[in-house]
Amino acid sequence: MIAALEARRPLGGSAVTVPRISLGCGNFGGIGSAPDFFGQGLTGDQALELMDAAWELGITHFDTADAYGGGRSELAIGRWISARGVRPQLTTKTFNPMQAGADSGLRPERITRQLRSSLDRLGVDHVDLYLAHDFDPDVPLPESFGAFGEAQAAGMISAYGVSNFDAPQLQAALTAGKPQAIQNCYSLLTRQDEHELIALCARRAVAYLAYSPLAGGWLTGKYRRGEPFPAGSRMSQRPGPYQELTVGRTFGALDRLKAISAARGTSMAGLALGWLLAGQRVTQIVIGPGRPEHLAPVREALEHPLTDEERAAVERAFA
């Protein structure tokens, strides 16, 4: 176990604390919440192997959602918990349909139904953090948060929050209820939250959780200028969220990151994760490795933290 993984930070103003790194399980039995990819991604046995490797490294918080793989992700985690006899800290989420054409959204009755089904698949009686996986314009936030509050009072969740909300939506959420965390896409290449939303989190004591910290693999260096995307990579399977990165300035920034990482003796991915860990406003990073060996950059980032000067150099590379 890496000692740095034992460090914890408060989850907003709640009594919950979380480690800096969480294992993202969106590729267990699918590729995120997209029904077209349900049944793809990691097999059940591959997911178990990855959870074993993460746990051995010291990662004790697993992040999933009801619709990841159409429920397969939660089932895999539940199977692992039962087989290994250990209990990780858990985040799960709801919003997206469990299959093509099924209902979605944040209606109170759906939240209650989906939470119970998540607990059944996970084989637990509560989760530590429950997130609204997207903003629902058709349901007033006080109604949704009423269901979250009831679940919290019943001991089914320890805290609740939101995901994929922008700054005005988070402000509305803070008016409607008491979300303790927000989980959004954030990395060296996806920094849209920096100026307004992250500042709002700091002012209102909302924990900021960063998913896709390597921008769908872009910050590993696997995508090269003028070359086809590697088979099995995110850009060859579900490129939509990262299509805007396929421009010259991205490759220029990656070339500069590669030079810094080479001089430092670490991987590009380890450097990108280290940049996030050095930021005081990021409470937790959700990593989504595809294989146990993909955990190596986490070890690098934790064992070789960035100095202020190194973080400034990385910032300049992406200016």
| From 68, 208, 223, 242, active-site residue | 68
> Residue 178 CA to chain centroid, in angstroms?
21
- Confidence (pLDDT) at 3: 74
- pLDDT(170) > 80: yes
Helix, strand, coil percent values for the chain (each to nearest 5): 45, 15, 40
Judged by DSSP in three states, 58 sits in coil
d(CA 267, CA 89): 28
Active-site residue 186, yes or no? no
Query: At a CB cut-off of 8 Å and minimum separation 6, what does 247 contact?
Result: none
- Confidence (pLDDT) at 226: 78
Model confidence over 195-241: pLDDT tens digits? 899 999 999 999 999 999 999 999 999 888 877 887 777 777 777 77
Which CA distances in Å does 243 have to 139, 162, 277? 30, 25, 26
Model confidence over 24-52: pLDDT tens digits? 999 999 999 999 999 999 999 999 999 99
Candidates 120, 122, 140, 123; CA nearest to 132 is 140
Q: Where are the alpha helices (DSSP H) in 123-243?
A: 141-153, 167-176, 197-204, 234-237
Candidates 201, 192, 185, 211; CA nearest to 285 is 211
Judged by DSSP in three states, 165 sits in coil
Integer-rounded Cα Rg, in Å, for the chain is 19
Picking from 24-33, 55-64, 222-231, 265-274, which range would have the lowest pLDDT averaged per residue?
Answer: 222-231
